[in-house]
Structures are given as structure tokens and as C-alpha cells.
Amino acid sequence: MTPPSNTVLHNLATQLRIDSVRSTTEAGSGHPTTCLSAAEILAVLFFDELRFDPKDPQHPEADRFVLSKGHAAPILYAAWAAAGAFPREDVLQLRKITSDLEGHPTPRLPFVDVATGSLGQGLAAGVGIALNARRIASDYRTYVLLGDGETAEGSVWEAAQVAAFHQLDNLCAITDVNAFGQSRATQWVHDLEAFAARYRAFGWHTITVDGHDVAALRAAFAESRGMSGRPTMIVAGTLKGKGVALFEDKDSWHGKPLNGAQADAAIAELEAQYVPTSDPDPVIAKPELRRAEGALPDFVAQMPVPDYTLGDLVATREAYGTALASLGALDPRIVALDADVKNSTFSDRFEKVFPERFYQTFIAEQAMIGAAMGLASRGAIAFPSSFACFLERGADFIRMAGISGLNIKLCGSHAGVSIGEDGPSQMALEDLAMARAVPNCTVLYPSDAVCAERLVAVAAATHGPVYIRSSRPKTPVIYGPDEQFPVGGSKVVRHSANDVATVVGAGVTLFEALKAHDLLAKDGIAIRVLDAYSIQPIDVAGLVAAGKATGGRIFTVEDHYSQGGLGDAVSEAVWDQGFRVQRLAVRETPRSGPSDELLERYGISAMAIVRAVKG
């Protein structure tokens, strides 16, 4: 196959510019100038460098491209249209409510792996996509286009160090150094060496080029393909708004489309830049091999039966690690990621059995979650785990994983005041609210080891993002090995015909509710105790039935702040039933101290439940 000529690639870059202007003007919004700076980069990538099939964008062996500077979406769409994925005129559907060509790319489009536009995330996703190539022993390469402005994000450098540590020579990133951000010139303007020096310091191979020189870009990509043991960063100097005199290399044009007359003039100016040629059109190289990993197993049915005895004291974080290792034996798509806490989350149990599918990011939670997103986008089922409070650092990544609908299964351990003496900086008391706010995110909160093991399998079988909250303290096993825990369910663990109230707990507070049940029984007061192990979706029918059976009195007790957690979930579930829901939760910044004392001090202990029920 004969490579396209430089003239053909130049003309394709011009076409991409024209379509970016046309689509943003038609939409009346968008970012044409940031598209125009990247035109040659996209032209060379799509029509000379990448191996892919425009009619089969999810081909498992195809090279991958992540547009980290997601506001340049119009030129991404223009490139896919030019490649033949859809008719060129369809780019005029940009930003319409009836179109999947959204203002920033999302996986509603089959050629988008991860949603981008929240800047600083694309490189971490690219790390995960590159790691997945290793997982499946594929030679596909991963390319990421970053803007120079987003390089200020710390998550970029987290991803850079992870990529270097894992020696991802199948990863090539490009920084479009067009020198202007949204409100002003960027940090290093057109100083390409400032970018290159930083990436070299992080262990990357770096190349600086004129980003509008087609021949130089082709040579840079060829050099990156020959690199061994290091990822490559191509630092490309460009001009924002290249090719249109009205806004080329000028400030204050970010996110401003041209009006009709301006667009007509700009298109005429760009059309004049076509170079007449009889050279043949480019032929996109397609992957030669197609392999499929097959259907997923029934994780819930095939997981080993939990091996515990009633009354055993086991922390749910430990049961998580046991289950993760068992799950890994069922399918090679199960992968685990860690941020240097594997011996506390017990994910090291997976590492000991499947070290080739265990990815260390060190203390870089954003990079860990971003890499999990990239892995999941290519078919892996990714389990990143850390302390729950540290996962909150990656809240924006979790939000974008929700938008992408990716199969990442986060486990946050050491949550709540029950961790004890470590103090408030370590006590995730906001994590349930964070996870519940993500659309289509399943939120699970096991109380004992059997429930924890079962919910790990349930998480793997559940499509989309899942958050599992595990606990530090050891809790007694209360469920038999054959108990099942479907998403959206709950368990009534104490009940009688004389129950005067329902107490809903989850995790450690379920055991406080059970203690309260026994204390109240001594005074002749019967309560129903419900384990809300599935917080999102929550068991509406089960809660309504319990409320009706107990006179409409429901108490929730949670090791979490009052906002956004279990109490809010229960209240939303039964709001139209006329029930009274009283929420016991942590309502002030806690202190360090023994776990039992903290539960009492902050009103979520067994005695606090007794006082509330009697009150």
C-alpha cells in the first residue's frame, strides 16, 4: 500500500479546517480555533499513522485515539467523516439535541472510547488503553492528543509517571502547543522545550516539531514507533486558528464560532490553500487480525461459595480481596489497580495470583481511575481500589466514567468514623453522596464477609460503574454461604409481628442496629432491622413494606455525613408514603478516637438508636 503524499495530507488538513468552521458556525457554538491548530496532526494521524476500520471503529486490534482536548470535537468528527465513518454533511449536526455529535466527545459515538472534555483526563485513559494492549497481547498502539493548557492539570503528570513506570512504548501522545487557553496565553506560550524538558524528566522520549509541517509530523510518528521501553511525547508547535487571518494566533477567540459572513470569508480563504494534485487519495490501513474474547461468564453463579462460619470476625475489606482473587480466575478481563494501599484494601491477594493483570499507579488516584477507565473502554472489567477518602480525589474522573458508562468497579475502604484514631482526614464521610450523584452508578455497601464476597461478583456482572464501600473494623459473619445479594435488594435480618419501627443500617451500622434490637427487646420494644446493602438502586418495595408493617416509623443510621447518603436514599424511596424517616448520621467534623467512642459521640451507636426509638 502506497502512503499518501504530503500534498494529499495537506489538503485533508485544509478540509478538516473547513468542516470545523462549517459545523461550529451552523451550531452557533463551539471551538473552531482549537480545531484549526490541530488540523495537520489529525490529518497525519488518521490518514497515514493509524490502523483502523472506519466502518468497524470498535475493532479490538485497531489503533486507538483519545482526544484529551475534547473541546476540539468538531475536527475529530470531521476526521471520522473524511475517513468514511459517516457522510461528510452530517458534521453540520454538531451540538443538536437529536445528534450524537455532542459538544465534547462521548461514547454515544462508536469511535469514542472515553468521554473527554474535562481537561487533564485523556492521558490517564490512554495509559489504560495501552495497558490493555499488553493484557490481550495485541500490537495496537494508543495515541492521545492533549492541549497545552490542560498540561497545568496535575492528573496529566500523574499519568505521565505511570506511563513511564510501566514502560508503555505503545503509547504516543501529542501536545498541541497553540499558546492560548480560554482567558489568556498559556503558561509556557510557544516554548516547546519547556514541555519537552518536563516530559523527559518524567522518563518519556520527546520530539519537538512544527505542528503544521506534515513531513515533520510523519517523521515524528515514525520515530515513536521505533521507541522501545519508553512512551513518546510529540510536542507540536501550532497556531491557534491556523489558516484564517481573522483569528490566527490571536487571543480572545476561544469558544467563539464565526457568524455566517465571517465563516463564508474564512472558508474561501481556506479553499484557496488547497494545492492542486493528481496524487491518489489515501487508503487507510486496516488491522489484519481480529480476535474476540468471547462472552463473559456468569460471575455470580460461578464464584466460589464464601468459606466462613457464622460468627467469624472478618473485615469486609479483607473479604473484598479474597473475592477479587477468586473473580480473577473466572475471566482474563478482570483486572485490578492500586494506589499503594494494596495491603490495606487486600487487593494484593489478586496481585499474588495474577501479577500480570495488577497495575500499580502509586499514590496517584486520578491516574489509577483514569487508567481503569481506559482499560474498561477496551473490554476489561477494572477494579481500582483505595481508601474511600482518597478515591474522592478522583471524583471528576468517576463522574466522567459515569458519562462514559464504563465498567469500572471502585472499592473504597476505611470509610467513616469507625476507622477510629486516624482522624477526620482519613474518614470518608462524603463518598456515598459522591457515588450516588453519578448517573447509572450502582452503590453497594456490604456488612459482613459473605455479603462482601457476593457483591464483588455482582459488581463484575453489573454493567456500568459500581462503587463498593468496604469497612476497616472486623464484623461478625451473619449470612450463610448460600445467601444471594441482587442489585436493588435488601435483607430483613430481624423482624416480628410486633415491630414498632424499622431501623435501616448498612455496613458497620447494621451491627449497631442489631445491638439496639437486643437492648430494646429487654424493655419489651420490638424493632425491625433492615440491611440496605444496595444503596443505589435501593429496595423501594422492601422499604415500603417494612414501613407499612412498623407504623410508618423508619430510622436510618449511617457512618456518613447526613447529606447524600443512606438516609437521603431511603427518604427518596418512601417520600410519598406518609412515613416519618428519622436520620441518624454524622453531623459535624469528627475527632480521632476509639471506634466505639466515635460511634457514640456522633450519634450512630446502638445506644443512640435506642434513644431515638424510645424518643
| Residue-wise pLDDT tens digits, 454-491 | 999 999 999 999 999 999 999 999 999 999 999 999 99
pLDDT value for 344: 97
Distance CA 543, CA 494 (A): 14
The CA–CA distances, whole Å, from 393 to 24, 349, 425 equal: 34, 25, 12
- pLDDT tens digit sequence for 292-314: 899 999 999 999 999 999 999 99
pLDDT value for 1: 72
pLDDT surpasses 80 at 64: yes
User: Domain residue spans in the chain?
Assistant: 6-271, 306-476, 491-614
- For 355, residues 6+ apart whose C-beta sits below 8 A from its C-beta are none
The CA–CA distances, whole Å, from 376 to 96, 370, 383 equal: 28, 10, 10
pLDDT value for 289: 84
Percent of the chain topping pLDDT 90: 99
pLDDT surpasses 80 at 66: yes
In CATH terms, 306-476 corresponds, of 3.30.70.360, 3.90.1300.10, 3.30.950.10, 3.40.50.970, to 3.40.50.970
CATH topology of domain 6-271: Rossmann fold (3.40.50)
- pLDDT tens digit sequence for 336-392: 999 999 999 999 999 999 999 999 999 999 999 999 999 999 999 999 999 999 999
Residue range 237-253: average pLDDT?
Answer: 97
All cell numbers assigned to 438: 453519578
pLDDT value for 162: 98
Percent of the chain topping pLDDT 70: 100
Q: What is the mean pLDDT of the chain?
A: 97
pLDDT value for 378: 98
pLDDT surpasses 90 at 166: yes
Same fold, 6-271 and 306-476: yes
Cite the active site residues. Answer: 365
What is the CATH number that goes with domain 491-614? Answer: 3.40.50.920
Distance CA 555, CA 541 (A): 17
Distance CA 601, CA 449 (A): 27
All cell numbers assigned to 208: 519537538
pLDDT value for 288: 86
Do residues 585 and 512 lie in contact, with contact meaning Cβ atoms separated by under 8 Å? no
pLDDT value for 584: 98
Question: pTM, whole model, 2 decimals?
Answer: 0.97
pLDDT value for 215: 98
Residue 141: band (very low, low, confident or very high) from pLDDT cuts 50, 70, 90? very high
* DSSP string computed for 307-349: ---TT-EEEHHHHHHHHHHHHHTT-TTEEEEESS-HHHH-THH
pLDDT value for 290: 85
- pLDDT tens digit sequence for 189-230: 999 999 999 999 999 999 999 999 999 999 999 999 999 999
Do residues 361 and 339 lie in contact, with contact meaning Cβ atoms separated by under 8 Å? yes
- pLDDT tens digit sequence for 569-591: 999 999 999 999 999 999 999 99
